[in-house]
């Protein structure tokens, strides 16, 4: 019998709030934080809409560490500290080599990259900042979480675009089940609200001019956001032995690849990932109560995801509750799956399905129950979270009550 892996702490930060409880409160209320981006450095943008963190909390991280951090690493560390505090765990000499972290990231340290370009090309300086290289590494966030919390077990980064969080959490579960760690801190982070990244997304012509309206017939694209979400994972036995409060169990994971196109999704890849997740969790389709959709708000993605859900769940697709919380926290790329984990776990704990905000018009091609605009009370025993990414890399997680 394989080990059960449970969640005993969660942390989060995004435009909705600077803690996991604050984020969930806004999700439950159906409040969208997507709006005009205020940063003065973001000039010459056709679309200046996103979901930014207006003010960072008083995080207590030593300046000696923050000077070598890009924003995406700082957000991950803030969320990880919150998750560890909730879990009640502290690394010490006896446990430090049995505790690790995996952090997913989509676009890594572009804030530092742009600072270097600006210094050299505009300000005429003859060198980049001394910490540029360690700031921009995709694995920097996991390194900083490790250093800040004293985690000396398995520590590495994962990058698979918009599926990065789900891949990171899956990898962390594997480390525990392989016996390499007793505790893993896992999730994702991204800070893409920088000029070069936004100009790149503009070129793809998928950014919404107003806001993100997943599954709504009048949707016009996605909105980008920044944020991080982290969870403390440990075996059920480890959590029970120390008297921890268990928030939920990670029941299973399913991974697949489209092997088709770098940006255009297929139905087959998401279908395979969802089916693999159900099989890994030991769920029948009718066992699933809530599905947190990838739900980006683009025409093609929402239609294809709906079709894939119907293929996997059959008639039950019309009975389960769905929503896309990206309508509220936007698409935070490598952080999205971790923020959506917060939604799934709290839906299970409170029996409340968070809504799809900004919904206006039903779409006949997206005709499932997307919980439009208003949260709904429902007993949620199980939930799954979809993550589908550029490159056709798909990762789906299943959660259940304990």
Active site residues: 162, 294, 331
The C-alpha angle with vertex 354 and arms to 145 and 319, in degrees rounded to 5, equals 125
CA gap 185, 286 in Å, rounded:
31
Q: How many residues does the chain have?
A: 402
- List C-alpha distances in Å: 21 to 24, 346, 362: 5, 9, 31
Residues β-bridged to residue 105: 189
């Amino acid at each position: 019998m394989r080990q059960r892996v449970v969640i005993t702490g969660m942390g989060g930060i995004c435009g909705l709030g600077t803690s996991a409880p604050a984020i969930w409160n806004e999700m439950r209320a159906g409040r969208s934080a997507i709006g005009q981006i205020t940063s003065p450095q973001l000039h010459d943008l056709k679309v200046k809409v996103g979901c930014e963190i207006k003010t960072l909390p008083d995080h207590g991280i030593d300046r000696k560490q923050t000077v070598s951090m890009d924003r995406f690493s700082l957000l991950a560390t803030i969320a990880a500290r919150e998750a560890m505090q909730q879990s009640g765990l502290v690394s010490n000499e006896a446990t430090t080599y049995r505790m690790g972290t995996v952090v997913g990231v989509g676009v890594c340290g572009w804030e530092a990259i742009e600072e270097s370009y600006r210094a050299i090309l505009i300000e005429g300086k003859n060198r980049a900042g001394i910490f540029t290289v360690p700031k921009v590494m995709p694995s920097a966030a996991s390194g900083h979480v490790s250093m800040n919390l004293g985690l000396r077990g398995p520590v590495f980064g994962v990058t698979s675009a918009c599926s990065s969080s789900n891949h990171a959490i899956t990898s962390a579960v594997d480390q525990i089940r392989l016996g390499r760690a007793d505790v893993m801190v896992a999730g994702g982070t991204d800070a893409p609200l920088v000029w070069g990244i936004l100009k790149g997304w503009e070129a793809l012509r998928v950014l919404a001019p107003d806001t993100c309206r997943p599954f709504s017939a009048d949707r016009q694209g996605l909105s980008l956001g920044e944020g991080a979400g982290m969870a403390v994972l440990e075996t059920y036995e480890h959590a029970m032995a120390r008297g921890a409060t268990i928030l939920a169990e990670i029941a299973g994971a399913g991974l697949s690849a489209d092997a088709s196109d770098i940006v255009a999704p297929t139905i087959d890849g998401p279908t395979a990932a969802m089916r693999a997740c159900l099989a890994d969790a030991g769920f029948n389709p009718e066992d699933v109560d809530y599905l947190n959709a990838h739900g980006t708000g683009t025409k093609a993605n929402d239609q294809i995801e709906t079709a894939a859900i119907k293929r996997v769940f059959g008639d039950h697709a019309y009975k389960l509750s769905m929503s896309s919380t990206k309508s509220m926290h936007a698409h935070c790329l490598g952080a999205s799956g971790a923020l959506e984990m917060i939604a799934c776990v709290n839906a299970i704990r409170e029996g409340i399905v968070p809504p799809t905000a900004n919904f206006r018009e039903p779409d006949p091609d997206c005709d499932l129950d997307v919980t439009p605009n208003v949260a709904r009370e429902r007993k949620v025993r199980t939930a799954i979270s979809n993550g589908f990414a550029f490159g056709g890399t798909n990762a789906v997680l299943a959660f259940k009550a304990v």
